[in-house]
Amino acid sequence: MSSVVDASRHSTPGAPAPSGTAQIALIGSPNGGKTSVFNRLTGLHAKTGNYPGVTVSRTRGVMKVHDHTYNIEDLPGSYSLTPISPDEQVVSDMLNGKLEGVGEPDALLVVADSTALRRSLLLLSEVLPRHKPTALAVTMTDELRRRGGVLDIEGLSKALGIPVVAVVANRGIGIPELRKTLTEWQDWSRPPIDPPADPAELAGWVDSILASAGYEGPNPDSRTEKIDKVLLHPVWGTIIFFAVMFLFFQALFTWAAPLQDAIDTFFGYLGGLVDEHISNPVLGGLLGDGILGGVGSVLTFVPQILLMYLILALLDAVGYMSRAAFLMDKVMSKAGLEGRAFVAVLSSFACAIPGVMATRTIPSSKDRIATMLGVPLATCSARLPVYLLLVGMLVPSEAKLGPVSWQGITMFLLYLLGGVAAMTAAWVVKKITDRSGAVLPFYMEMPPYRVPTPRSVGIAMWEPTKAFLRKAGTIIMAATIVIWALTTFPMRSDEQLSAAGVDPGDAVAVSAYTMENSVAGHVGRFVEPVFEPLGFDWRIDVALMGSLAAREVAVSSLGQMAASSDPEATDDVASQLEGWTYTQGPSEGQKVFTPATTVALILFFAFALQCLSTVAIMKRESGGWKWPSIAFGYMFVLAWVMAFIGHTITLLVT
C-alpha cells in the first residue's frame, strides 16, 4: 500500500464557499497556531491542540468581509512541501491543483510561530518559488516578547518582500489587520528573487532575513525547564501521568453526580406527565418509554461528558498533553511503533474516527494500518455512558479505598485497559505484517506552559458535547424509536392476552408478554445462543445489536426496555435493570445483571468494534473493505473471549 493517498477524500466541510470566490490556503508547521488563525478568520471551531497531528485533513471555511466572501482552506501541518505521509500529501496535492473538484489556491498564507521563526522560514522558502501571492502571519508574538525575544515585523516584511502581519490568535489580536490584508491578496508585493535552493546558501538566506528583522529568539523558559525536569522524567513523569489520569476519573464520578441526579429527576418528572396526560397507549409508550426512557437515560450522562472534555481541554491548553505524548513515545518505540501512533490513540479517547484519521500522519503504510487496527480499542467518549451505567451497577457508590472511590478506580482501569489494548493490538499487527522493526523518527516540540484562555477551553469543552447532544437527538433517538417499535409490536388484544394466560389488567405482565413476543424478542432469542455463555439474555442482545449505530444506543435501548418492562416503576434505569430476571431456561427467575454478567458486558464493550461510522472511516482511509472487515472480525472474537473469561472468573470469585 502506497503512502500516497487520494487526498480529495480528506476534507472536512466547514461552511460552503460561494462559487467564484477567492481561495486562500493556510500553510504552516504542526502546532504553530495555524488552526487558531483559521478559526478566528472563519468563526468556525476546528479542533486545535498542543501536539502535532490535530489537523489531518483540509478544513474549509468562509471569511466574510463586508459584502465579499473568501474561501479559506486550513491544510494539515507540514514541515516541508515534500510529502512523506498522507496528511502531508494533502498539502502537496492541494497546492498542485491535484484534488478532484478543487483548483489551486489563489493565494497562500504561511503561518509561522514567532518563537521558532527559523524553522518557519525554511518552509516559506519552499512556498515562495511557487510564485503565488503569499503573505506571512507571525503568531505568538506576545509569548516572544514575554520571553525576551525581539522581532521587527516591518523589517521582516521588507526583507522577505511580502506582507507580514503579527497576530495572537487565541486572544484575537491582529486578526482585523490580517483580515484586511487577505482582502488585498491581488495587490500583495512579491519577492524580486526566489530563495536559494542549495542548503548551504539557504542557511545564509535565513540568517540574513532574521538579521534584517532584528530577530532575537526567546530566552529559555526557566519555568518550563524546571517543570519538565519532573514531568518528562522517565519515572516521576510516568507516575504523575497516571496520577493525573486517576484523579481525572475520580472527578467524573464525584463532581458530576449532583447534576446527573437532577437530570434523572427531570426526565422522571416528564415521564410522569406523559403517564398522567396521554391516555393513548401507543403515543404514551413512544413518548414515555421510547423517547424519555431511552434518550433520557443517555442524556443523564451529559454532566460527565462536559466534565471530561473540560479537564482534557485544560490539560491540553496548559501544554501537558504533549508531554504525555512524549512519555508514551518512549513506550511505543520499544514496541516497534513510533510516537505518531500514540497521537492517534490519544485522539481516539475522544472518538475513534479522528483517531483513525490521525493515522495519516504516520509515514509508513504498514505502521499506519497497524495503528488503524488498534485505535478503535481506545476508550472513546461513546463508551463512557455505557461504562458509567454498568460500573455504577457493579460497584456501590459508597465503596471506597480510603478516601478514593472504587467507581473512579474502576473507570481509570477501564481507560487504561483501552489504551494498553490499542497499543498492543497495533504492535501485534505490526509484528505480523512487518518484521523489520524499523521506527521512523517522530518530531515533537514541547510548547511552553501557558495559562488557558476561557474562550479556547470553552470551545474545546462545548464542541464535542454539542456533537454528543446532536447524536442523542438524531442517531440515538432514531435507533431508540426503532427498538421501541420492535419491542412493542405486534400488540395483542385483551382476548389474545387472556388466551395466553396473561391478565389484561396487569400492566407489568402485559408489557413483559408483549416484549417477549415482539419482533425484537424473536430476533434477540435467535442470536441468544451466541451470547448465552456470557450471561446475556435476549434483551441485552437487542441492545448490543442496536449499539452498532452508536454505542450509546445500548444505554438508551436498555433504558427504553426497562421502562417498558414495568410502566409503573419510578426507579432509575440502573435500579430497574438490577430487577430484571431470566424469563425462561435453566436460569428462569434468577437475576440477569449479576456481577458476572455486568463484568462480561463491560468487557464486551471494551473490545468490540460497535460503531459502523468507525468502520466506514476505516474503509475510506485504507482504500477498501479488507482491513475494516478484519478489524470488525478480530475485535468481535476478542470481545467475546474476554467477556467469557471475565464472566467465568467473576463466577468463581463471587
pLDDT tens digits for range 178-189: 999 999 999 999
Q: Is 406 exposed, middle or buried (0-12, 13-18, 19+ CB in 10 A)?
A: middle
107-113 and 164-166 beta bridge pairing: unpaired
For the chain, give the percent of residues with pLDDT over 90: 51
For the domain covering 7-212, report its CATH number: 3.40.50.300
Distance CA 384, CA 382 (A): 5
Q: What grid cell was written down for 618?
A: 476505516
Q: Is 77 exposed, middle or buried (0-12, 13-18, 19+ CB in 10 A)?
A: buried
CA distances from 618 to 355, 384, 631 (A): 10, 22, 9
Binning pLDDT at 50, 70 and 90, where does residue 4 land? Answer: very low
Query: Is residue 11 helix, strand or coil?
Result: strand
Provide the 10 A C-beta neighbour count for residue 330. 14
11-12 and 58-65 beta bridge pairing: parallel
Q: How do the domains of the chain map onto residue ranges? A: 7-212
Q: Quick one: pLDDT at residue 644?
A: 98
Query: Is residue 407 helix, strand or coil?
Result: helix
514 close to 527: Cβ distance less than 8 angstroms: no
Q: Quick one: pLDDT at residue 567?
A: 66
Distance CA 379, CA 306 (A): 16
Q: Give the DSSP letter of residue 27.
A: E
For residue 3, pLDDT over 60 is answered with no
Q: Quick one: pLDDT at residue 591?
A: 95
Contacts of 169 by beta carbon, 8 Å cutoff, 6+ apart: 33, 36, 37, 39, 40, 139, 175
Q: What grid cell was written down for 563?
A: 421502562
Binning pLDDT at 50, 70 and 90, where does residue 127 land? Answer: very high
| pTM assigned to the model | 0.81
38 close to 45: Cβ distance less than 8 angstroms: no
Measuring CA to CA, which residue among 541, 544, 486, 554 is closest to residue 517?
486
- Write out pLDDT tens, residues 474-515: 999 999 999 999 999 998 888 998 898 888 888 878 888 889
- Write out pLDDT tens, residues 375-430: 999 999 899 999 999 999 999 989 999 889 999 999 999 999 998 898 899 888 88
Residue holding cell 518552509? 123
Measuring CA to CA, which residue among 519, 524, 247, 537 is closest to residue 404?
247
Q: Which string of b and e fits 210-225 if b means at least 16 CB within 10 Å? A: beebebebbeebeebe
For the chain, give the percent of residues with pLDDT over 70: 92
- Type of residue numbered 486: L
- Write out pLDDT tens, residues 320-346: 988 887 887 777 766 666 667 777 887
- Write out pLDDT tens, residues 558-595: 999 988 877 666 678 899 999 999 988 888 889 999 99
Measuring CA to CA, which residue among 148, 315, 310, 121 is closest to residue 220?
148
| 133 prior amide bond cis, ω within 30 | no
Measuring CA to CA, which residue among 23, 8, 132 is closest to residue 72?
23
Measuring CA to CA, which residue among 145, 123, 118, 149 is closest to residue 134?
123
